[in-house]
Structure 1
């Protein structure tokens, strides 16, 4: 991510800062965990949203008993596409007035993750740096999808959700990665790699799927391909707090970049795309150079210590995270919850 594109100054209070015990947490004598620590079922996590005034205001109103029912969240899928790290160049503005820019080549990290910076015109998390993903489409659920790997029934058990939702979310995950990066989590029935005959990174097909002229299942059938659900690994599950007007019920997955494929950022929803080491992304966030939202921070944290793509792949499932507004004794409002197994 370029520095000019990401200069989102968060101030001293960042979304991902470690937080002290809340009234609720202290009363129950449990440790309060930060999203800058790997999560696991049973952990109690809290995080500040002081850098998001609108979120704080809505959380306060919710705690005060604001009228109205919470908005039903839309099902969504997000994919952390990972690959072996490569050396890369970066450029920083000098911290000294009038100083020359600082330019350097960063050594390869064990793991890189593909990320996109969302356009400033987007209604949800504008300018944020995110993983490929998006909302589940009705055709992800209803249309037949050629399938290989763990079945929707098996995924439903892993995800603690109905079979139809599991099928739709897995399909949405593969579809969104294809639309936003050109990477196909699919193969021929015999396992053979998909062939991009025009060598234009599936430009016409991606546009047709993205504009809903054809469903992802129809595209796969026309090409004689099958969705490879075994190329994805469940990472975490986050649900937007009930205090928010725009809510998502999002499953996060991890996928290795398939051999002989590459990722780009040709999507109208993003203005920039790059491979970046998880630790580098978090460092730039801390420096105010990238805007990251809490679920992204947490999922990056879960693999930041991985010494290989295999280790990232084998990282345990973080759990189900359903944060809600929490009022501290000091009057501060944060978001928090107990991470659950189901």
Structure 2
């Protein structure tokens, strides 16, 4: 991973990310997708499905196909200054990206017979998401998504030259669906326990960006998908605005709860800062700080 040294002057783009969970015999697992090596954002890194909010995500016809109305979704997202349509659109973006990137649909056809292959064929033939929802009489199940965290890229970003205002949602993958990467934006599907993912990162077997590292640290404190969903439902999504600074020539990112951060209340468990050393981010106290 290369360190970005540019200062970004453009405002952050609204985006949505979905953290897909499942319970396996080994315990809680999370879905990671390997981004295509040629991608201009985190190429080769393992990420959660997600992407930018599209204008079409807020179209009235799309919003009419949600299982909850915009005002309900606005209240669930807990961002008072955000227009209701945009709040609802972020739920749409999360569901859309999950289907486009790993073929998991949080939705159901009117007749109860959801044909994911036919939906994918419609989209591959150039049909818009709005038209495809209408063609297949789909309702998007927004109850399945629980707001988790909100990450806002700082102007001095460390791993990208773009800024995002990303809402992270948590959901449990439907038991009758199988996640599969799209072979375009993503090239590998990996179901893995959060602790194992952190160990593989530490052993340089996979590459992760700071939001994924800290999210996995958070998830590693839970034993089941139900536990994660219950925590998310019990509180407002914390806003995470990382504060980067250079210490002894080393780029360091601190998070809420760190002495250098303006917000004293921690947003999540684990270390309060990561340092860029040997082309990756790691806490001051090493692997133990990630797994403690």
Shift of 1:294: 0.8
Q: CA deviation at 1:318?
A: 5.1
Task: Output the CA distance in 1 between the equivalents of 2:251 and 2:220.
Answer: 28
C-alpha displacement at 1:319, in angstroms?
0.6
Equivalence map 1:101-140=2 (5 Å): 108-140=25-57
> Of 240, 245, 251, which aligns to 2:153?
240
CA RMSD of aligned residues (A): 2.4
Higher RCO, Cα 8 Å, sep 6+: 1
What SS does the corresponding residue of 1:124 show, helix, strand or coil? Answer: coil
Query: Which is greater in Rg?
Result: 1
- 1:207 equivalent in structure 2: 124
Q: Which residue of 2 aligns with 1:195?
A: 114
Q: Which residue does 1:152 correspond to in 2? A: 70
Specify which of 312, 321, 328 is matched with residue 240 of structure 2. Answer: 321
Give 3-state SS (helix, strand or coil) of 2:146's partner: strand
Matches of 1:203 and 1:144 in 2, distance apart? Answer: 19
| Residue number among 160, 174, 191 corresponding to 2:95 in the alignment | 174
After superposing on structure 2, the runs of 4+ consecutive aligned residues of structure 1 that deviate more than 6 Å are none
TM-aligned CA deviation for residue 207 of structure 1: 2.3
> Per-residue deviation at 1:179?
0.8
**In the alignment, what sits opposite 1:312?**
228
| Alignment CA distance shift 1:115-1:337 (3 Å) | closer
What is the CA distance between 1:84 and its match in structure 2?
1.6
In structure 2, runs of 5+ residues without a counterpart are: 257-262, 268-292
The Cα shift of 1:193 comes to 4.3
Between the aligned partners of 1:325 and 1:297, the Cα distance in structure 2 is: 16
Identify if the C-alpha distance between structure 1 residues 127 and 193 changes in structure 2 by more than 3 Å, giving closer, same or farther. Answer: farther
Aligned partner of 2:202 in structure 1 is 286
Q: Are the structure 2 counterparts of residues 228 and 140 from structure 1 closer, same or farther at C-alpha, using a change threshold of 3 Å?
A: same
Question: Structure 1 stretches of 5 or more lacking a match?
Answer: 1-50, 63-68, 86-107
Q: Distance in 2 between matches of 1:215 and 1:297?
A: 34
Q: Does 2:17 match 1:78?
A: yes
Aligned length: 249
Q: Is the CA contact (8 Å cut-off) linking 2:119 and 2:132 kept in structure 1?
A: no
What are the Cα deviations for residues 164-189 of structure 1, in whole angstroms up to 9, with x where unaligned?
22122111111011111111111135
Distance 1:159 1:327 in 2: 33
Q: Distance in 2 between the 1:259 and 1:248 partners?
A: 31
Contact preservation (8 Å) 1:194, 1:225: no
Check conservation: 1:117, 1:130, Cα contact below 8 A: yes
Please identify, of 215-224 and 112-121, the stretch whose mean Cα deviation from structure 2 is larger. Answer: 215-224
**TM-score normalised by structure 2 residue count:** 0.77
Aligned counterparts of 2:190 and 2:254: Cα–Cα separation in 1: 31
Q: Which of 227, 238, 244 is the aligned partner of 2:140?
A: 227
2:231 alignment partner, SS class: coil
Is the CA contact (8 Å cut-off) linking 2:150 and 2:238 kept in structure 1? yes
Partner of 1:31: none
1:79 shift after superposition: 0.5
**Cα pair 1:127 1:291 within 8 Å, conserved:** yes
